[in-house]
Amino acid sequence: MLALVGSGEYLPAIESVDRDLLSRLKEPPRVVCLPTAAGQEGAERIHYWSCLGIDHFTRLKVQVESLPVIDDASANDERLADAIDRANFVYLSGGKPHYLYSTLKSSLVWEAILSVLSRGGLLAGCSAGAMILGEKFFGFPGLKPGFNFLSRVTVIPHYDQFPGYVITSLRVMAGRDLIVLGIEGNTALFSNGEQYEVLGTGGVIVWKKGSKTRYNRGPLPPNALAT
């Protein structure tokens, strides 16, 4: 199970989305928050994201911990990877997508995340965390390879916060072969492996070959993300 969140991680406005996600777990929630994308922003910001995640899921009355996976060394720390492997809900908060991807790629922590997914757990990524789950992500400059959970897709988080000319520029950069997926704030695109569903108060915008379709809360048509 995957959840791609546009923005608003750990804030009160997105509590209903996370309650919905937690309800889809088959076992009692065991949440791990990873501030990895903020790993270059200094100890204060890492502490901020860690505390925000813990406070948020504590309000939702579930088991939660935040783990300091912030660089290559910690991403290959067996103790941290084992802790993630015991979870069933992993949350990647925002920051720099390229740093997040390069830190996790081929690491013990990433293997643990894949293990969580293989057992029916859930991976949620907000902002940078959502961007790296597509086939490509905007790396500035150019497009970079992502983890390809969504084939032929590149993700624009914060979609409702960008001016139109920025969206146009990103669409041009993506070309016509990629689907551009715009996710608004306080909104998630959820996938259970068979179907996509919009959760939250905003919308998900799908650009395919220049054609734009907006989806509000509820299931997407089966071919919505097909190329």
Parse the chain into domains and list their residue ranges: 2-219
- Among 81, 161, 90, CA closest to 126: 90
Domain 2-219, second-level architecture: 3-Layer(aba) Sandwich (3.40)
Q: Residue 154 has what pLDDT? A: 97
Peptide bond into 141 cis (omega under 30): yes
Q: Residue 47 has what pLDDT? A: 97
Q: What is the pLDDT of residues 22-66, one digit of tens each?
A: 999 999 999 999 999 999 999 999 999 999 999 999 999 999 999
Q: What percent of the chain has pLDDT over 70?
A: 100
pLDDT over threshold 90, residue 95: yes
Residue 151 Cα to chain centre, angstroms = 15
pLDDT over threshold 80, residue 227: no
Distances (CA, A) of 94 to 158, 165, 210, 221, 224: 11, 23, 28, 28, 26
**Spatial separation of the C-alpha atoms in residues 45 and 89, rounded to whole Å:** 22
Q: Residue 140 has what pLDDT? A: 79
In sequence order, what DSSP letters do the residues of 24-54 get, joined into one string? T-SS--EEEEE-GGGTTS-HHHHHHHHHHHH
Mean pLDDT for 87-109 is: 97
- The tokens for 161 are 């916060």
- Mean pLDDT of all residues in the chain? 96
**Spatial separation of the C-alpha atoms in residues 103 and 34, rounded to whole Å:** 12
Mean pLDDT for 197-226 is: 94
Q: Residue 159 has what pLDDT? A: 96
Mean pLDDT for 133-147 is: 93
pLDDT band at residue 141 using 50, 70 and 90 as cut-offs: confident
pLDDT band at residue 226 using 50, 70 and 90 as cut-offs: confident
> Under the phi-then-psi rule, with left for phi > 0, alpha for psi from -120 to 50, and beta for the rest, what region is 142?
left
Pairing type for strands 63-66 and 122-126 reads unpaired
Mean pLDDT for 136-154 is: 94
- The tokens for 28 are 């009692």
